[in-house]
Amino acid sequence: MIRNRQTISISVAVFRLDDIVLAVGLPAPTRLKIGVDGAELEILRGSLNSPKSVNELVVEYKPESKNLELIHDLLIGCGFEFDFNSEAEHLEGWVDGFFREKIEQS
């Protein structure tokens, strides 16, 4: 049992993926995994250029998330298709949603 619970504040630098790729001159990513405990939609909205080079994407989310449909719609709008959710859940109900670049059939 914790008797003296203290609040700890940690400052974390936050950057848009698009800005880091541009500023540092990194090669554009081809695979991306996002696990940010509830801020998935905001992360994706701040990375709208980088997914153009990504062909596989994994997003960790809760299946009951109010943003789940928005996440799926955003990724489909960026040219991805939903592949599957992971079979094994993480702690507290998180799952990995797997998306891949949509290949147009000719």
CATH code, domain with 97: 3.30.110
Kindly report which listed range (11-15, 89-93, 94-98) carries the lowest average pLDDT score: 89-93
pLDDT of residue 48 exceeding 80: no
Residue 93 domain-assigned (yes or no)? yes
Residue 11 domain-assigned (yes or no)? no
Task: Residue 42: give the domain boundaries.
Answer: 30-101
Decide: helix, strand or coil at residue 69: helix
Contacts of 52 (CB under 8 A, 6+ apart): 28, 78, 79
Give the chain's domain count.
1
Residue with tokens 């994994």: 58
Residue 7 domain-assigned (yes or no)? no
Res 105: pLDDT: 67
pTM higher than 0.85: no
- Starting at the edge strand found earlier in the chain, the sheet holding 31-34 runs 31-34, 56-61, 95-101, 80-85
